[in-house]
Structures are given as C-alpha cells and as structure tokens.
Amino acid sequence: MAPAILHSEYRGAKLALVYQTDGHAQLRVNGLVRDQGQSLTHLKLDSVVQTDYEWHEQISGTFERTDQWVRLTLTMSQTEIAAGDFDLGLGA
C-alpha cells in the first residue's frame, strides 16, 4: 500500500506528515525529514520551523491508528492546521 500523506503549507513552509502501514512515520518540512519514528498505535513528531524571516514556530505531527484507519494531524504552535483520516486498506 502507498503511504498516507497529509500535506499543508503554512507561512511559506511546505509541510508533510507521511505514514507507512509498518508504523514508520516522517515529519517533512520543505521536503527534508525533520523528525521520524515508528509505532503501530500513536506517535507524535516535533520540529521547529522557520516560517518567515526570523520567525520560528513549533510544528507537531501526530497519528492515531486503528486496525483499518490512521488519523494524521499537523499542528503549528498548538493550532491545528490540517487533519485527515486515511484508510489503510488492510481489511477486517
């Protein structure tokens, strides 16, 4: 199965949270992996992002997984900026 990818753009920064069915996840900023980890249930990835000239914000990417779905969420400075539910295609 292809990875679940949640995309967003915030103050010129291109953000992506990528989740694979094996539990591996990456938080990408402008195409670069800024944090990664692995879990089959829940995981939070964090990084600091320069979004404007001398402006830095905390970005978090989280996922919550069930047997058939994964919910991906991107949060910038404690404000949700994107969220999505993705079918893992694993069947019941």
Work out the average pLDDT over 14-23: 94
pLDDT of residue 92: 56
Residue 21 lies in a domain: yes
Residue 92 lies in a domain: no
User: What number of helices (H) and strands (E) belong to the chain?
Assistant: 0, 8
pLDDT of residue 44: 97
Residue 10 lies in a domain: yes
**Closest by Cα among 68, 84, 77 to 18:** 84
Residues 24-75: pLDDT tens digits? 999 999 999 999 999 999 999 999 887 667 778 899 999 999 989 999 999 9
Burial group, residue 90, by CB count within 10 angstroms (0-12, 13-18, 19+): exposed
Q: Are strands 4-10 and 42-52 parallel, antiparallel or unpaired?
A: unpaired
Residues 5-17: pLDDT tens digits? 999 998 888 999 9
- Whichever domain contains 81, its CATH number is 2.40.128.180
